[in-house]
Amino acid sequence: MSKAYSYYQDQLRTLADLEGAIAGLSWDKEVIMPSKGHPYRSRQIATLAGMAHELKTDPKLVATIDELYQQRADLSEAEAANVLRSWEDQRRSLKLDKDFVMRQSQAISQGYEAWLKAREQNDFSLFEPALATLVALKREEAERIGYEEHPYDALLEEYEPGMTCAQLDPIFAGVREHLTPFAAKVRAAESPDDGFLVGSFDWQKQWDFGLQLLREMGYDFEAGRQDTSPHPFTINISPGDVRVTTVVDTQDFQTMTWSCLHEGGHALYEQGLPADDYGLPRSRAASLGIHESQSRLWENHVGRSRDYWQYYYPVLQSIFPDQLQDISLDAFYRAINKVQPGLIRTQADELHYHFHVLIRYELEKGLVEGSLNTSELKEAWNEAYERYLGVEVPDDRQGVLQDIHWAHGSIGYFPTYSLGSFYAAQFYAQAQQEIPDLQENIRKGDSSALLSWLRKKVHQHGRQYLAPELCRRITGEPLSYEPFREYVERKYGTLYGF
């Protein structure tokens, strides 16, 4: 290993130490910290984040990454991949000078304040001026970063490197042209009864069942733990400590079950990243979209399948006999896959979810290219909800003010949520082709072959490849809407008999 590479590796590992410490403090803050700890904890995290920023922008490290990038032909394949990813990140951040970063972070804190106030008063007009400033800064950011075709591409790069509007447009065209009439057809069919899913479900019994699901999907409890928090999340403190949280609702066991499978999918990915490259890009997730593909694959393709519940439903029935003993597996399967259009993205089912994202993608693109003004945003939002979901938006809080992303200056983030589902469908279809007896094993409660396949195809590569290349390597094809289309047609066609 060259001297320069070993310096680079040491610095990135120190950075990862700081990030891990921040993650540990954040977990503590969300899960067990007493309330009086808050002001100090915010300071502690800010202090460590400041140190991490210093380290990241240290001129010697910047110069070393540049030097290694020039000489990457002399490095091993894994080393060269690390350096390339670090150089790409660095090139992006160097294009945004200190003055711009400060203007943006000021606009974000004002935007967040304005958004909180606007939500409280249920009035978008209180947020609109701050949003206009944030959008102008995003447009400036896109110009500074540079792009080939569309300014939105420069913003996407922050969350999903390698993804562009040219790749996203045909995928969202699939949502618009196929999923719109398909979801309407499902809505028109007779809705299953899911009343038995709400009732009284003992806290401890649910909790134990969630741990069983996590353990049996392959989550390593010696390298993680589960706790409860107001919103479920997964956090990576180190390669040997990847934690998940859940919410247990004693009226409805679904919240806990799907969050265990969803966060479990995220955590299996983090636990499977190559620890030998700790701190370096190869030990990190490929992108937000790939991360979300791992959670959606376990939550939907495995966890909402009839095969999975063929094994687990009798287990669940034995835990909650009073609530479920008279309910058949088919009735249960139909109920857990009930679809219903709604106003709120985070509560959407696996079909309608993508309309929520499509709407945000179209609006963001319009704002960034200048064809849509923030003063027209609310009307455009309400009109799109009527068009795609057939729902009338009653107020701003349940409409254009529902997500925090724009207030945080995150534009280009939303598409990664849908990408997660589309990558998941494409990967799962490939897994079904390559793993003999995959569904049969799942019917017996054994998903170990699936986990080994994901380890080999996705997890072990970390960020060695950008997401579009990873997808081609796994499936031989670029990302497409088609596997998702086939998946929903097969599943919902069977469920509703068309």
Q: Restricting to residues 188-247, name those near Zn ion by CB under 5 A.
A: none
Q: Restricting to residues 289-318, name those near Zn ion by CB under 5 A.
A: 295
User: Closer CB to Zn ion, residue 206 or residue 295?
Assistant: 295
Total residues at the site for Zn ion (CB under 5 A)? 1
Alpha helix (H) ranges present in 375-414? 377-389
User: Closer CB to Zn ion, residue 219 or residue 313?
Assistant: 219
Q: Nearest distance from residue 413's CB to Zn ion, in Å?
A: 12
Nearest to 15 by CA among 118, 119, 111, 86: 86
Residue of closest CB approach to Zn ion: 295
> Is residue 132 exposed (0-12), middle (13-18) or buried (19+ Cβ within 10 Å)?
middle
Does 386 participate in catalysis according to the annotation? no
User: Closer CB to Zn ion, residue 235 or residue 367?
Assistant: 235
Q: How far apart are the first and last CA of the chain?
A: 61
Q: Nearest distance from residue 258's CB to Zn ion, in Å?
A: 11
In this structure, which amino acid lies at residue 140?
Answer: E
User: Closer CB to Zn ion, residue 154 or residue 244?
Assistant: 244
Find the part of the chain contacting Zn ion (CB under 5 A) among 64-72, 287-295, 425-433, 490-498. Answer: 287-295
Q: Nearest distance from residue 388's CB to Zn ion, in Å?
A: 22
Helices and strands, number each (H, E), in the chain: 22, 3
Which pairs from 6-13 meet CB under 8 Å and 24+ separation? 7/60, 7/61, 7/64, 8/61, 8/64, 8/65, 8/68, 8/83, 8/86, 9/279, 9/280, 11/55, 11/58, 11/61, 11/64, 12/86, 12/279, 12/280, 13/278, 13/279, 13/280
Q: Restricting to residues 2-61, name those near Zn ion by CB under 5 A.
A: none
User: Closer CB to Zn ion, residue 295 or residue 374?
Assistant: 295
Q: Nearest distance from residue 293's CB to Zn ion, in Å?
A: 10
Alpha helix (H) ranges present in 149-283? 151-159, 165-174, 180-188, 203-217, 254-271
Helix or strand (DSSP H, E) at 490: helix 482-496
What does the alpha-carbon distance between residue 333 and residue 307 come to, in Å, rounded to a whole number?
10
User: Closer CB to Zn ion, residue 385 or residue 428?
Assistant: 428
Q: Nearest distance from residue 235's CB to Zn ion, in Å?
A: 12
Q: What CA–CA distances, in Å, run from 476 to 125, 430, 485?
A: 48, 9, 18
User: Closer CB to Zn ion, residue 1 or residue 344?
Assistant: 344
Q: Nearest distance from residue 402's CB to Zn ion, in Å?
A: 17
Secondary structure of the chain: what % helix, strand, coil (to 5)?
70, 5, 25
What does the alpha-carbon distance between residue 468 and residue 478 come to, in Å, rounded to a whole number?
6
Give yes or no for residue 259 binding Zn ion (CB under 5 A). Answer: no
Which residues does 11 contact at the CB level (< 8 Å), separation at least 6?
55, 58, 61, 64
CA R_g for the chain: 23
List beta partners, residue 246: 228
Q: Nearest distance from residue 353's CB to Zn ion, in Å?
A: 12
Catalytic residue among 157, 263, 299, 350: 263
Binding residues for Zn ion (CB under 5 A): 295
- State the catalytic residues: 263
